[in-house]
């Protein structure tokens, strides 16, 4: 089964819910959701600042993503987006992203949202259930805008990002805080940038995408053959 054929995944706004709601954690009221976001901030921050002596003193860390189409090197901005980048680095260090895939491509030819965007999306897909969600760090908070090569977290509602992410091809200001791609105006949480391998990203974006979709909205966006993420690890 294509990993994107399920309804349980996070996405890129304008009605595209890749995981239906934060209610899957059993929190179904505003007060509960606020508590959840507070606790996830504390938890993720503790991982970043005290975790394994890893990145506590580093403003940024580079990771290498070995994919079926080639390698992508990404710099994670731990100083600017400690919760989001720290969470992603934790996934890397735990080996959680190994065996994931890039499964969705969005471009001017298949995008049904507004404003149109150009990105590739990846993560754990159907295996993402059970991972902790993190609090939402907006581009207004971090100063990391959705420019060419920037990596950002996919989400449904605010505070539901966990393992799914996307990489921008070209500048995508519509994904920033206060812009129109998401009706809530909160944009997406950018946390790093590709420093090598944008040729791989663009190649993935051009692959055939006519696989079964979980909604009419994503029709024509799901790769026929998802691109494997074989290994993700830190690099010097």
pLDDT tens-digit series, residues 24-37: 212 233 333 333 33
Q: Rounded to whole angstroms, how far apart are CA atoms 191 and 55?
A: 15
Contact 84, 215 (CB under 8 A): no
Instruction: State residue 18's pLDDT score.
Output: 33
Q: Where are the domains of the chain?
A: 22-235
Contact 26, 163 (CB under 8 A): no
Confidence of residue 13 (pLDDT cuts 50, 70, 90): very low
Query: Which of 170, 133, 134 is closest to 150 using CA atoms?
Result: 170
pLDDT in tens, 36-85: 333 333 334 433 433 444 444 589 999 999 999 999 999 999 999 999 99
Most confident of 7-16, 41-50, 196-205: 196-205
Supply the mean pLDDT for the chain: 82
pLDDT in tens, 123-168: 998 788 889 999 999 999 999 999 999 999 999 999 999 999 999 9
Q: What's the CATH number for 22-235?
A: 2.40.100.10
Checking if the pLDDT of 90 tops 70, the result is yes
Instruction: State residue 206's pLDDT score.
Output: 97
Instruction: State residue 126's pLDDT score.
Output: 79
Checking if the pLDDT of 3 tops 60, the result is no
Please work out, in degrees rounded to the nearest 5, the angle formed at the alpha carbon of residue 145 by the alpha carbons of 206 and 49.
110
| Inter-axis angle of helices 82-93 and 30-50, nearest 10 | 60
Instruction: State residue 127's pLDDT score.
Output: 83
74 — phi, psi (to 5°)? -125, 135
């Amino acid at each position: 089964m294509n990993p994107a054929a399920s309804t349980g995944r996070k996405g890129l706004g304008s009605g595209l819910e890749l995981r239906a709601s934060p209610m899957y954690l059993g929190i179904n009221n505003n007060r509960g959701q606020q508590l959840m976001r507070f606790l996830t901030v504390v938890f993720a921050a503790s991982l970043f600042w005290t975790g394994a002596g890893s990145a506590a003193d580093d403003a940024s860390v580079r990771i290498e993503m070995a994919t079926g189409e080639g390698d992508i090197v990404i710099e994670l901005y731990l100083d600017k987006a400690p919760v989001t980048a720290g969470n992603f680095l934790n996934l890397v260090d735990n080996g959680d992203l190994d065996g994931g895939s890039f499964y969705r491509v969005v471009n001017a030819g298949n995008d049904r949202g507004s404003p149109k965007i150009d990105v590739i999306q990846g993560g754990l897909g159907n295996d993402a259930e059970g991972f902790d969600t993190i609090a939402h760090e907006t581009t207004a908070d971090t100063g990391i805008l959705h420019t060419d090569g920037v990596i950002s977290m996919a989400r449904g509602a605010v505070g539901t990002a966990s393992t799914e992410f996307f990489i921008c091809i070209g500048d995508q200001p519509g994904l920033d805080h206060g812009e129109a791609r998401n009706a809530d105006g909160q944009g997406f949480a950018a946390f790093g940038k590709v420093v090598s391998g944008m040729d791989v990203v663009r190649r993935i974006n051009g692959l055939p995408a006519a696989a079964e979709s979980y909604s009419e909205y994503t029709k024509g966006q799901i790769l026929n053959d998802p691109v494997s993420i074989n290994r993700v690890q830190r690099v010097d």
